[in-house]
Amino acid sequence: MRGRMMDWPLLISSLIEHAAQNHADAEIVSRSVEGPMHRTTYAEVNRRSKQLAKALGKLDVGFGDRVATLAWNGYRHVELYYAISGIGSVCHTVNPRLFVDQLIYIFNHAADKVLFFDLTFLPLVEKLAAQMKTVRHFVLMTDRAHMPASSPLKLLCYEELLAAEDDDLHWPRFDELTASSLCYTSGTTGNPKGALYTHRSTVIHALTCCATDVFSMSAEDSVCPIVPMFHVNGWAVPYAAAMSGTRLVMPGPALDGASVAKLFNDEGVTFSLGVPTVWLGLIKHMDETGGKFRTFKRMLVGGSAIAPSLVEAFQKRYGVNVRHGWGMSELSPVGTTGTLKRKHMGLSEDEKIQVQLKQGRALYGVEMKIVDAEGKRLPHDGKAQGELLVRGPGVVSGYFNDEEASRAALDEEGWFRTGDVGTIDTDGYLQITDRRKDVIKSGGEWISSIDIENMAIGHPDIQEAAVIGLPHQKWGERPLLIAVPKEGKTPTKEAVTQFIAGKVEKWMVPDDVVFVKELPHTATGKLLKIKLREDFKNHRLPGT
Ligand code: AMP
């Protein structure tokens, strides 16, 4: 028997419409690319998104067409998110930090019809335009006053497109399984792969992100997504904020410690989200300037594992509650968050931090299992380590127009292979120990590169660290630590290995330490281990 409830599709347009109805005057504050701070509201963004939707129609953008954006976090990017998906087209966010070859591949593979981009990216777009085979219109996201005097491209002006339209539009109703947005993963091998989200997956994911143990998004908050909207939907913040009427503070391109600290204090930011690199920059600035946070109370860290020293710095010295999260493009993207349970309330501050350092518990709608090399399920006992697989309404079932990658994506039971390795404890907390291809297999045991990296960063003279496995005749592989010393510091190999030796089993201590000025990163700020393995393939470990 079917129930008697309305068959009401979960559409992205309902989020901005809801915000405009119920939080009309809630602000969206942006540090604009042009310079000054800009202030708007949900009502205004809804109105302008409708004008933009009409303008898209005039550019011949229809249902299912892909529209690309190359833009920072700002109000115009929010308008694009809603306008493009709102009319059933696909909002394809492009990460400008990718290599040029990958960018060209992505534009052509997605077959984008129109490209919207911030002024910052004009030189990049002018350079790549001739190789973008499908893009018919290039729209600069600015007003007439900031349009360049000349350009080899025929550029359209965003504000002029909007000004030519009225907002007399009712968001269309269509199937909630319609594709809404597209984000390519920046894998270290092979071509990038497109995660193609649906309206349903996006709305459900935003709803779960609002929950108290996830983002705790509320109409009292002022949230600053440092995590860019050009990658994995800005961790769903633009959607979750509209759903909960949360004031949005958009950082634009200024992501250095000083700019972020000023923005937080000037705009009364209560909650923010970002990758560890951003938080490291912020804490460095605060420590150097002796600054204080006026309103900043909680932060979500994800994208890479968080080091204990960072949690301690924010929680103990600055009173900011740290939440660790894990996710990936293929998961919309948030999979777990590491909030405590009632049973943890009696623990000491340091014991609580041990729980918080894990990647956390699954959001509702994300089911997790870990398996061994043969695909056999392993127990959730906090000890057994295996590859993590997930499934749920916000998890990809394949990739956009890529049958080969899609076939390899799922196991025979239909679970998505994350490529991450970890443990899950009896309370459901996931701990990621490595990427499958980065784990170091030494004498039949697995050494977690993440664990050793975090320990190395705990050394007072080390800024950043990477651990890779090098071939070893006796043990198969042994760890090499590659570390960047803090400015003005000259730690010795012995000091660093002794520091680590006190904290782990003897056989986990790296066989050698190399100091370098900087480490290579991917476009999303992760350590580029493939490059390190190449760079150090001829490195001889002591005794080999
Ligand atoms: P992306 O699709 O670019 O968001 O990258 C997803 C990958 O980032 C995951 O598969 C993990 O390898 C890594 N990752 C994300 N969050 C964390 C975390 N908290 N700790 C360790 N690795 C993480």
Q: Is 232 in the pocket of ligand 1 (CB under 6 A)?
A: yes
Q: Which residue type, as a one-letter code, is found at position 488?
A: G
Taking CA 231 as the corner, what is the angle to CA 227 and CA 233, rounded to the nearest 5 degrees? Answer: 85
Taking CB atoms within 8 Å and a gap of at least 24, the contacts of 54-58 are 54/165, 54/166, 54/169, 55/161, 55/162, 55/164, 55/165, 56/83, 56/84, 56/87, 56/89, 56/114, 57/87, 58/161, 58/164, 58/165
Contacts of 249 (CB under 8 A, 6+ apart): 29, 30, 222, 223, 224, 263, 267, 269
Of 475, 374, 468, 369, give the one whose Cα is nearest residue 422. 369
Q: Is 303 in the pocket of ligand 1 (CB under 6 A)?
A: yes
Q: From the CA of 195, how far away is ligand 1's center (Å)?
A: 15
Q: Which atom of ligand 1 is nearest to the CA of 522?
A: 3
Q: From the CA of 84, how far away is ligand 1's center (Å)?
A: 27
Mean pLDDT of 155-165: 98
Tens of pLDDT, residues 95-151: 999 989 999 999 999 999 999 999 999 999 999 999 999 999 999 999 999 999 999
- How far is the C-alpha of 28 from the C-alpha of 251, rounded, in Å? 11
Domain boundaries, the chain: 8-212, 438-535
Q: From the CA of 35, how far away is ligand 1's center (Å)?
A: 32
Average pLDDT over the chain, rounded to whole? 95
Question: Which residues are identified as catalytic?
Answer: 185, 330, 441, 446
Q: From the CA of 280, how far away is ligand 1's center (Å)?
A: 17
Q: Is 438 in the pocket of ligand 1 (CB under 6 A)?
A: no
Helix, strand, coil % over all residues of the chain, rounded to 5? 35, 25, 40
- How far is the C-alpha of 52 from the C-alpha of 25, rounded, in Å? 20
Helical ranges in 313-361 per DSSP H: 318, 349-356
- How far is the C-alpha of 190 from the C-alpha of 113, rounded, in Å? 25
Q: Rounded to the nearest 10 degrees, what angle do helices 493-501 and 449-458 cross at?
A: 110
- How far is the C-alpha of 187 from the C-alpha of 346, rounded, in Å? 42
Mean pLDDT of 474-498: 94
Q: From the CA of 118, how far away is ligand 1's center (Å)?
A: 27
Q: Which atom of ligand 1 is nearest to the CA of 195?
A: 2
In the three-class reduction of DSSP (H, G, I as helix; E, B as strand; rest coil), residue 395 is classed as coil
Of 67, 378, 14, 17, give the one whose Cα is nearest residue 202. 14
Is the model's pLDDT at 436 over the cut of 90? no
- How far is the C-alpha of 16 from the C-alpha of 170, rounded, in Å? 12
Give the closest residue (by CA) to ligand 1 atom 7.
Answer: 328
Q: Could you identify the residue written with the tokens 């990477």? A: 466
Q: Are 541 and 472 in contact (CB under 8 A)?
A: yes
Mean pLDDT of 237-254: 98
Q: Confirm or reject CATH 3.30.300.30 for domain 438-535, answering yes or no.
A: yes
Q: What percent of the chain has pLDDT over 90?
A: 90
Q: Give the alpha-carbon dihedral of 492, 497, 503, 506, to 10 degrees.
A: -160
End-to-end CA distance of the chain: 70
Is the model's pLDDT at 187 over the cut of 90? no
Q: Is 420 in the pocket of ligand 1 (CB under 6 A)?
A: yes
Residue from 526, 527, 528 whose mutation best tests the ligand 1 pocket (most atoms within 8 A of CB) = 526
Task: Tell me how far CA of residue 2 lies from CA of 5, 6, 7, 79, in angstroms.
Answer: 9, 11, 11, 38
Query: What local confidence, expressed as pLDDT, does residue 342 receive?
Result: 98
Which of the 8 DSSP states describes residue 147? S
Q: From the CA of 302, how far away is ligand 1's center (Å)?
A: 7
Task: Give the residue, 190 or 22, on which the prediction is more confident.
Answer: 22
Secondary structure element (H or E) that encloses residue 472, with its range: strand 462-472
Q: Which atom of ligand 1 is nearest to the CA of 305?
A: 20
DSSP assignment of 45-78 equals: HHHHHHHHHHHHHHTT--TT-EEEEE--SSHHHH
Q: Which atom of ligand 1 is nearest to the CA of 419?
A: 10
Backbone Cα Rg of the chain: 24
Is the model's pLDDT at 68 over the cut of 70? yes
Q: Is 282 in the pocket of ligand 1 (CB under 6 A)?
A: no
- How far is the C-alpha of 145 from the C-alpha of 503, rounded, in Å? 59
Query: What local confidence, expressed as pLDDT, does residue 188 receive?
Result: 62
Q: Is 44 in the pocket of ligand 1 (CB under 6 A)?
A: no
Is the model's pLDDT at 90 over the cut of 80? yes
- How far is the C-alpha of 365 from the C-alpha of 352, rounded, in Å? 26
Is the model's pLDDT at 525 over the cut of 90? no
Q: Is 336 in the pocket of ligand 1 (CB under 6 A)?
A: no
Mean pLDDT of 74-89: 98
Fold identical between 8-212 and 438-535? Answer: no
- How far is the C-alpha of 382 from the C-alpha of 425, rounded, in Å? 4
> Residue 323's CB: how many other CB atoms inside 10 A?
23
Q: From the CA of 37, how far away is ligand 1's center (Å)?
A: 32
Identify each DSSP E strand in 105-178 by its residue range: 114-117, 137-140, 155-157
Q: Could you identify the residue written with the tokens 């700020």? A: 525
Q: Is 326 in the pocket of ligand 1 (CB under 6 A)?
A: yes
Q: Which residue type, as a one-letter code, is found at position 463?
A: Q
Contacts of 456 (CB under 8 A, 6+ apart): 462, 465, 467, 481, 483, 496, 499, 500
Tens of pLDDT, residues 403-434: 999 999 999 999 999 999 999 999 999 999 99
Secondary structure element (H or E) that encloses residue 451, with its range: helix 449-458
Q: Could you identify the residue written with the tokens 């705790």? A: 216
Query: What local confidence, expressed as pLDDT, does residue 190 receive?
Result: 77
Which segment of 352-356, 360-364, 416-420, 522-526 scores lowest on mean pLDDT?
522-526
Q: Which atom of ligand 1 is nearest to the CA of 333?
A: 4
The architecture CATH gives domain 8-212? 3-Layer(aba) Sandwich (3.40)
